[in-house]
Structures are given as C-alpha cells and as structure tokens.
C-alpha cells in the first residue's frame, strides 16, 4: 500500500464531498486497498482524516500563510487573498479545512483537535498580518487586531463556501472585495 496515494485519494474524496459522507469503504475502493491495510497504516478512520487534513494544510493552506507573511503591504495582501478565494480553481469545491471545521462535531478527537490547532494558527497569521499593517501605518490604532483577524478569516471562509455552492467566481470576487474594503477604508 502506498500511504501517499491513499492520502491523495482521501483528500480528493473529502474535499469534493462532505468529509462525514465519505466512508472508509469508499476510500479503500477508490485507492484499491483493503480495509485492514488502511487501518494498519493510519490506525483508525480518525487517523486517516487527521493525516489527510495535515496533507491538505501542507499542500493548500500553506499557500495562504505564504500570502499573509509576504510583507507586501495591506492592499496587495488583501488582493492576493481575494484572488485565492475567488479564482483558485481548487476552491470550486470549497475548502477541506472549512468543511471539517464546520462539521467538526462529526470528526474524531484527533482530527477535531487538529482542526482547532489549524484554526488557531490561521487566526494568529491573520492577526500578525493586521498587526504588521498597523505597524506600517496602514491600519488604524484603536481597532481590535483579534476582531479584524476573525472577520478576515470568516470572510475568506464565506467566499470559498460560496464558490463551493456554485456562485459565479466574479460575483464571489465582488462580494469579497466589498467585504474586505473595510480594511482599506478605515
């Protein structure tokens, strides 16, 4: 059994559907492996979903962190986030992380804990970005960096969820541009 191939299959299956709707049997069938082989490698369904989320974070979410840490300034970074959420073809089926986050009550304890860790890292990255914008004089004092970080993350999540529901990417771009304009109008 090739664990990397199984993770690719699981990631695609979870990403294209609701992760809770994808059975271990379906993943085994798509990957052409036996259930005992999967359990030997990942320990449990929770172990597989945790490993799949880690792979997704490494391959997809890491790109958002690169954008947030780019140091290109408030407007350029917001524009890059808008591009990612509205134009990245991978987001046509939504974001695996946001799907898992919204259904975390249906996940196993390992995966649920990992979702919470990634969410905290994401919020910290958004907060660091806004703090850097404040330090550069691009974002005003007196506004909560934490509230701004939460707002920014939720607007990105909403835009990607809209893409997954079939909204036109141009409409998603317009909505997200409007939502994020609060950061440049203050």
CA 128, CA 24: separation in Å to the nearest integer?
38
Q: Give me the CATH number covering residue 99.
A: 1.10.357.10
Domain membership flag for residue 13: no
Domain membership flag for residue 81: yes
Domain membership flag for residue 26: no
Q: Are 53 and 107 in contact (CB under 8 A)?
A: no
Domain membership flag for residue 10: no
Domain membership flag for residue 138: yes
Predicted confidence at residue 186, as pLDDT, reads: 57
Domain count, the chain: 1
Q: Tens of pLDDT along the chain (186 residues)?
A: 899 999 999 999 999 988 888 999 999 999 999 999 999 999 999 999 999 999 999 999 999 999 999 999 999 999 999 999 999 999 999 999 999 999 999 999 999 999 999 999 999 999 999 999 999 999 988 889 999 999 999 999 999 999 999 999 999 999 999 999 999 875
CA 186, CA 182: separation in Å to the nearest integer?
6
Residues ≥6 apart with Cβ < 8 Å to 145: 127, 130, 131, 134
Short-list 77, 115, 82, 79, CA closest to 96 = 115
Domain membership flag for residue 166: yes
Domain holding 145, by residue range, is: 54-185
Domain membership flag for residue 42: no
Domain membership flag for residue 46: no
């Amino acid at each position: 059994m090739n664990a990397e191939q199984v993770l690719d299959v699981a990631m695609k299956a979870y990403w294209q559907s609701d992760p809770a709707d994808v059975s271990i049997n379906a993943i085994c069938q798509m990957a052409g492996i036996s259930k005992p082989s999967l359990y030997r490698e990942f320990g449990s369904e929770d172990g597989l979903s945790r490993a799949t989320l880690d792979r997704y974070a490494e391959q997809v979410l890491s790109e958002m962190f690169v954008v947030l840490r780019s140091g290109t300034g408030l407007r350029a970074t917001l524009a890059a986030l808008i591009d990612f959420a509205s134009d990245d073809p991978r987001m046509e089926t939504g974001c695996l992380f946001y799907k898992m986050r919204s259904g975390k009550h249906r996940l196993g304890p390992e995966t649920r804990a990992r979702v919470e860790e990634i969410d905290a890292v994401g919020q910290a990255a958004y907060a660091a970005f806004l703090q850097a914008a404040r330090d550069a004089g691009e974002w005003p004092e007196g506004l909560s960096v934490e509230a701004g970080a939460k707002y920014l993350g939720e607007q990105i999540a909403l835009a990607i969820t809209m893409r997954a529901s079939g909204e036109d990417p141009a409409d998603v771009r317009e909505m997200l541009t409007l939502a994020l304009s609060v950061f440049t109008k203050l």
